[in-house]
Structure 1
Amino acid sequence: MPSLDPELKKAIVRMPAGEKDKLLLRLITKDPLLTERLQFELIEGSTTTNERRDAIKQFIDRTAKLKQDSAGWVMMDMRTASGYISRHVKVTKDKYGDVELSLYLLNTFYDHHMETLRHYGSRTDKAAQYIAKRTEQMLKKLTKLDPDYFIEFEGDVNRLLPRVHNSCAAYYARQLTIPQRWSA
């Protein structure tokens, strides 16, 4: 991002408040993510984090229940849900929610699509790689949280890890040295 010329900065600061407000409002509307973040912080008072998480969980549930006939379609649905999680984190700065929702996403899709994701093959390769990488990212983010939270995630993580190691993602899980068991 280019820096502003110091003289331009001074000129902007000297602008009348009304003109600055109009300019600011025009600029904010050009960035939907910034608009949503300001809505969350200024209007919602940063108090709707749990409601936003619940909405994403409901989306994950609806999406995971769709009947997919290939691992490629399952992966596409997972990536769509991951996009919602990423947007949530950018808007709310919710690191706990990032781990919780990622873990929920992986476990929920395994709950509904284990047969599709069971065996490795050319049709499951990309999904396998995606699942292993997503699991690795989630574990890295989990270790960065306050250790007091670990106990809350231990059961779900240890439900996920055997699934990853006993499905199409096993090869990539070994490659990424994803543990078979995790303890708080």
Structure 2
Amino acid sequence: MDIPLTDYTTGAAVATDLVNTSPTVRTAGDGLPDPESLTAFLADRAVRPDALADREPTADDVFQVQLLRREVRMILETETEDQAVAGAHVLTRRAALGPVLRPAPDGGWRWHVPTAPGASLADELAALFGVALLGVVRALGHDRFRACEAPGCRGVFADTSRAGRRRYCTPERCGNRVNVANHRARQTPESATR
């Protein structure tokens, strides 16, 4: 897997999505219960690890990715920037090799971090997430690692939005739920009966 150093937002989004598949966050159980769900998760996010170049995920891959999910959550919940950086370094060391320059489509060059040949799926994803979370800390700051503000939600996320005002782990789920509740609360008893 070749991880572009300049595109930390993609890796951070996938890391956020992975953390929020946890039964800790979801009310409907684990979002990654089996190899088929892991295949769909990766395909939906256009993540193509080398470890799956010639095979499908196994039950052991699922288990290892579920363990990785806990590690990523711990980094997103760190209290200090130093703790976040240390945790992300641990992830990158699982499979990341030294940065290399690769030709860019525009004719220039771009920095990439390749993963070690033969690395496991979880280790490749760990490298992707580690590089991405380090990118968030460097470019945006540790305060972009946040807990979801939706009542009752235990989700966490890396806010890579330009304005830095994201409030929900999954805006289309938690944000919508809060907006609907706020709308209903504003309705007067008279308008609600119409």
Q: Write 1 or 2 for the structure with the bigger share of helix.
A: 1
Q: TM-score, normalised by structure 2?
A: 0.26
**Higher RCO by CA contacts (8 Å cutoff, separation 6 or greater):** 2
Q: Write 1 or 2 for the structure with the bigger share of strand.
A: 2
